[in-house]
Amino acid sequence: MNKEIIAKITEVDFPNRSTVEIEGKKFKFKGGLLGQEVKLYKKNRRKLIYKNVEKLSPLETEENCKYQGVCGGCTYQNFSYEDEIAYKEEMLKKLLRENDIDAEEFYLIKSPKYKEYRNKMEYTFGDEEKDGPLALGLHKKGYFHEVVDMDKCLIVHPDFDKVRIKTREYFQGTSFYNRKTHEGVLRHLSLRRTISGEMLINLVTSSQEEIDIENYVKAMLELDLESEIKGILHTINDRMSDAVVKDELHILYGRDYVVEKLMDMEFKIGPFSFFQTNTYSAEVLYTEAEKILKDKGDYLLDLFCGTGTITSILGKNRKEALGVEIVEEAVDSARENVELNGLKNIKFIPGDVYEVVKELENMYDIIVVDPPRAGIGKKAIEKITEFGVENILYISCNPVTFVEDIKTFRECGYKEKSVHGVDQFPRTNHVETVALLYKLNTEHHLDIEIGEDELSEIDFSKDATYGEIKKYVLDKYGLKVSSLYIAQIKRKHGLIERENYNFSKKENQRVPNCPEEKEKAIEDALEHFGMI
């Protein structure tokens, strides 16, 4: 039987890992806040499992959200915003110092808004308790298959709650899609809202049942909102993945996009477009990027460009800018946006960054990289640095993978000149970082020979192979897990950002979901190898 322990958190690490000391030994676990007294289960001599909070941290001086600790969305709702910024800044400084990244001039820039700032939310249909009424909200903290049916969320505009609550009421009695049995119809409600008040509603369902969609549109249009509903969409998704993707898209009312204004430019944003979730802070981020790159060059290459926001903003006053993105729909949107803004000097091409950079001409003097949470990776960095540009701007939504990539850039002859943080995600444990890397003068740096003995002791990567993960799970739990299951759990934790396009061409192909027992075993392996 697991032994129950109450201990005080004495150290914290980014993004949300805590340390307690018990009988002279330190234990790390996911969750918790500095100064909290928490209840833990001692699973074995090396592992503690976080259960709940027994006593709040001295930093938790406010009671802003009654769902704090229950909803998996926010971490710092009980902090003042000043304390939250200081807390995040100290964790990031520690992360940078521990990875030998110069953090002396590091600072974290606040978001102009820390309430009602998110421009997009994806809510999930489910039940808060078994056989209870239909719920529509965010995932419960620590329980992926359970939904928190909140009545108010503080990080979105109140119109989000009005649309969500009315949608929940309208569909009471309709089945929700069960992510274990893969049966049911209601899946997600995805909402977007621009600063000017344009709103896009996207109802995501399976095709397993017919629903009264016509009267749902009427119910939405009758709502008393500050926003102007520009489009109501119905997406049909019959895939087993929980991601909001489309098999079919139907425009029920209006159009399938909203127009956001950012830094004197306009951007059309569709239901599946990538766009910074905090428009207010995005302007701060891009202003910082412009300041860093001032007078740094005339030819800009933007890798992982998404819908081309950064390419357009940083490239509009240069001779030429090129954006590269693997998702063709995003490239189509990017091209549409440069046309919308009358930019003739900006181009986009679709393709995998690693493959595209092999073919591009070496004409650029600035490279911008803004990769997904999993980072860039060693092979792509090696190709990127072959361009030999003087300056590389790295924008990252995941400082943990950012520091690993910085080490690879160093191996390839680059050094960080400045590193700053931008709080794109107030109240959550996420932070954006932006760094300028410059090319070292190799004539003034030494080549050092490393012998085979020393080389064998160097850990070049914390990423375990699929084979290593399988062996760990088999040795520890006696379970055999497939590469498919490992990929599913890696995607769940943001280690794989995009869908695998190599789907079977067979009709109605069903992909099995990872069983809960194997999911926990794989998560333990990922944690063991330092990947989460």
In 10 A of CB 56, how many CB atoms?
Answer: 15
pTM of the predicted model, to two decimals?
0.79
Residue 289 has pLDDT above 70, yes or no: yes
Q: Are 252 and 285 found together in one domain?
A: no
The 8-class DSSP code of residue 71 comes to B
Q: Residue 523 falls within a domain, yes or no?
A: yes
Residue 451 has pLDDT above 90, yes or no: no
pLDDT at 204: 96
Q: How far apart are the first and last CA of the chain?
A: 27
66 CB contacts (<8 Å, ≥6 apart)? none
Q: Are 298 and 181 found together in one domain?
A: no
Q: Are 368 and 474 found together in one domain?
A: no
Percentage above 90 pLDDT, the chain: 59
Q: Residue 456 falls within a domain, yes or no?
A: no
Which of the four pLDDT bands, split at 50, 70 and 90, describes residue 511? Answer: low
Give the residue, 441 or 366, on which the prediction is more confident: 366
In 10 A of CB 437, how many CB atoms?
Answer: 26
The CATH number of whichever domain residue 328 belongs to comes to: 3.40.50.150
Find the catalytic residue in 71, 74, 305, 397. Answer: 397
77 CB contacts (<8 Å, ≥6 apart)? 62, 64, 65, 68, 154, 427
Q: Are 422 and 285 found together in one domain?
A: yes
Tally the domains of the chain: 4
Q: Are 169 and 257 found together in one domain?
A: yes
Residue 304 labeled ligand binder: yes
Residue 235 tokens, joined:
């997406």
* pLDDT average, residue stretch 43-56: 81
pLDDT at 455: 41
pLDDT at 508: 42
Q: Are 373 and 405 found together in one domain?
A: yes
Give the residue, 67 or 441, on which the prediction is more confident: 67
Token pair 């030494």 in the structure block, residue:
446
Q: Are 148 and 254 found together in one domain?
A: yes
The CATH number of whichever domain residue 235 belongs to comes to: 2.40.50.1070
Question: What are 416-431's pLDDT values in tens digits?
Answer: 988 999 999 999 999 9
Backbone angles phi and psi of 91, in degrees to 5: -65, -40
Token pair 């931008």 in the structure block, residue:
422
Strands of the sheet containing 414-422, edge to edge, are 108-109, 414-422, 432-439, 391-396, 366-369, 299-303, 320-325, 346-350
Q: Residue 162 falls within a domain, yes or no?
A: yes
Q: Are 210 and 154 found together in one domain?
A: yes
Helix residue spans in 294-438 (DSSP H) = 309-315, 328-340, 353-359, 378-385, 399-411
Q: Are 304 and 425 found together in one domain?
A: yes
Q: Are 354 and 299 found together in one domain?
A: yes
Which of the four pLDDT bands, split at 50, 70 and 90, describes residue 478? Answer: confident
Among candidate residues 114, 75, 429, 425, the one with its CA nearest the CA of residue 276: 425
Q: Are 411 and 502 found together in one domain?
A: no
Q: Are 422 and 520 found together in one domain?
A: no
Angle between helices 81-98 and 399-411 (to 10 degrees): 30
Q: Domain containing 254: what range?
A: 120-262
Single-letter amino acid, residue 103: A
Q: Which of residues 392, 422, 439 is at a domain's end?
A: 439
- Tell me which H or E stretch contains 394: strand 391-396
Residue 370 labeled ligand binder: yes
Q: Residue 226 falls within a domain, yes or no?
A: yes
Residue 435 has pLDDT above 90, yes or no: yes
Q: Residue 92 falls within a domain, yes or no?
A: no
Is 504 strand, coil or helix?
Answer: coil
Among candidate residues 415, 419, 193, 199, the one with its CA nearest the CA of residue 289: 419
CA–CA dist 487, 469 (Å, integer):
11
Q: Residue 268 falls within a domain, yes or no?
A: no
Q: Which of residues 40, 58, 76 is at a domain's end?
A: 58
Q: Residue 415 falls within a domain, yes or no?
A: yes
Q: Which of residues 424, 439, 454 is at a domain's end?
A: 439
Whether 397 sits among the annotated catalytic residues: the reply is yes
Residue 325 labeled ligand binder: yes
pLDDT at 104: 66
In 10 A of CB 209, how many CB atoms?
Answer: 12
Note every long-range contact of 177-180, with CB atoms under 8 Å and residues 24 or more positions apart, other chains counting: 177/125, 177/205, 177/206, 177/208, 179/144, 179/145, 179/242, 179/513, 180/145, 180/513
Q: Residue 93 falls within a domain, yes or no?
A: no
